[in-house]
Amino acid sequence: MSPMKRSGCVTEDRLPLSYKHGSNTLKPDYSSNFCLEMGVLQVGSFVALIATAVLAARPAVTIKNGTLVGADLPQNGQHLFLGIPYAQPPVGALRLRPPQSINLSFGQLDATQYGPHCWSAFTTGFDDNSGFEQSEDCLTLNIVRPSSVSETSSVPVLVWIHGGGLTESGSGDYRFNGTYLVEASVANGHPMIFVSMNYRVASFGFLASSELESEGSLNLGMRDQRLALHWVQENIARFGGDPRKVTIQGER
């Protein structure tokens, strides 16, 4: 690996990828030129189109709510499980209320697309959030694991909480897809699983009023994060992760 790659700077073979929700398409983004300190979240070799991922023998994991069928990226040696719901949709009677665990079976779920980002304070023209579909029904998480990991592996887990000042962004941001970290962990002989999550931001996640305070409905975005972490504790072992070895990382 060249010094530039070690520093976390983007080079031609590790270009960030643009993603449009619903299109199943990941394309190199030649307009971006960023360098993350120490390569903490250097964009990995996520160069395959999800649409062309191997469909035969797709990875499947069964949890208490159903079976998640992900994507196999053999060129990366990774399995992706994207857009996994970890809470009931916070709409209708659950709008501006604490998140609720999923209490029904969803049967078999295709987990090959990122879910929409939560509604932000910015819909167009700010940062990268304008390129993603936004919705109130947004409480999903994503898992990237080495394809060599199985339910009995018990490898460490890194949970990434996206930044955005509690006002915007989401886990589908191509800069933080986690594939490089997983790739590097395997190369270092210490494989790990990467998890990222959406949580409510802006008014839907952090609206404050005396009425909401009396109902116990403040800081909903933080409550979403806590429920996602609870989901990880309950389910990550099925993906080969060790719930006793979970590290949380994020940005403002």
Task: Determine what percent of the chain is predicted with pLDDT higher than 90.
Answer: 51
* Residues 238 and 248: beta-carbon distance below 8 Å: no
Q: Number of folded domains in the chain?
A: 1
Parent domain of 184? 61-250
The domain that holds 93 is classified in CATH as 3.40.50.1820
Q: How confident is the model at residue 217 (pLDDT cuts 50, 70, 90)?
A: confident
Report yes or no on 166 lying in a domain.
yes
Residue 189 or 119, more confident: 189
Report yes or no on 32 lying in a domain.
no
Report yes or no on 43 lying in a domain.
no
Report yes or no on 180 lying in a domain.
yes
Report yes or no on 30 lying in a domain.
no
- Own/partner pairs for 63-69, CB < 8 Å, 24+ apart? 63/234, 63/235, 63/238, 64/234, 64/235, 65/102, 65/104, 65/105, 65/106, 66/105, 66/106, 66/107, 66/108, 66/109, 67/107, 67/108, 67/109, 68/109, 68/111, 69/108, 69/109, 69/110, 69/111, 69/112
Q: How confident is the model at residue 29 (pLDDT cuts 50, 70, 90)?
A: very low
Report yes or no on 104 lying in a domain.
yes
